[in-house]
Each structure stands twice: as structure tokens, then as C-alpha cells.
């Protein structure tokens, strides 16, 4: 009886780990996010001139899903020949941080 319970617990843990690894794999991809509607707001948030904010930025799937209002699975299933893309509809701290990182990398 105890052996069956241990096996059931181990199986449940393995299934949970598999699901977590699958979600992490989906998060590892980058998505091209169009910032054209939010450039002025992002510039204000990170205290730079709007001309420095790129029109597009690459961000992790989770960030893109949040700011674009699209399910991460939908983004992950987009055409595998090119990076998935979406239009930002919302700001987030994570998006601001990604934009700042890109600006620093360009210098």
C-alpha cells in the first residue's frame, strides 16, 4: 500500500515537473512587440526622449502575452519560420525594463 502511494506521489511530481518545463520552454522564445502606440508613455516612464524608444522590441513570450493581451500559447504557435509578433496594448514594468536593456545595449 505504501509503495503504491509513493509511486503515485512520484508520478504526480514528474507530471508537474514536465508541465513546468514545458511552460518554461515556451517562455524562452522572443516575440517582436510593436510599441508604436505606447512609445510616448514608455519614454515618460523610463525618463528618456520618445525618439530613443524603438518602434519594435523583442521580449520574452510571457511579457509579450501580458502587454499584447494575447495568450502565450497563441504567440508560441505562430509561424515557426519567423519570430512571433504582436501589438502592445498595455504597459508593464517588465516591458519598460526590456526597452531599457535594449537602449543600453545600443550604446
Classify residue 47 by burial, with Cβ atoms within 10 Å: 0-12, 13-18, 19+.
Answer: exposed
Q: Which three cell numbers stand for residue 10?
A: 512520484
- Is 0.85 surpassed by the pTM of this model? no
Q: Contact, 68 vs 33, CB < 8 A?
A: yes
- Confirm whether 36 is domain-assigned: yes
Does any domain span residue 9?
A: no
Predicted confidence pLDDT, tens digits, the chain (107 residues): 555 554 545 444 444 433 333 333 344 589 999 999 999 999 999 999 999 999 999 999 999 999 999 999 888 888 667 779 999 999 999 999 999 999 999 87
In a domain, 58, yes or no: yes
Q: Pairing relation of β-strands 56-60 and 30-34?
A: antiparallel
Work out how many domains the chain is built from and give that number: 1
Residue ranges making up the domain that contains 91: 29-106
Q: Look at residue 61 and tell me if it is in a domain.
A: yes
Query: For residue 65, is it within any domain?
Result: yes
Which of 56, 69, 62 has its CA nearest to residue 99? Answer: 56
Residue 23 lies in a domain: no
Residue 49 counted as domain residue = yes
Amino acid at each position: 500500500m505504501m509503495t503504491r502511494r509513493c509511486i503515485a506521489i512520484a508520478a504526480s511530481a514528474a507530471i508537474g515537473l514536465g508541465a513546468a518545463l514545458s511552460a518554461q520552454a515556451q517562455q524562452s522564445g522572443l516575440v517582436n512587440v510593436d510599441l508604436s502606440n505606447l512609445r510616448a508613455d514608455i519614454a515618460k516612464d523610463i525618463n528618456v526622449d520618445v525618439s530613443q524608444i524603438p518602434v519594435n522590441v523583442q521580449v520574452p513570450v510571457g511579457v509579450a502575452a501580458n502587454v499584447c493581451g494575447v495568450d502565450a500559447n497563441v504567440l508560441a504557435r505562430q509561424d515557426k519560420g519567423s519570430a512571433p509578433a504582436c501589438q502592445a496594448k498595455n504597459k508593464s514594468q517588465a516591458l519598460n525594463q526590456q526597452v531599457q536593456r535594449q537602449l543600453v545595449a545600443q550604446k
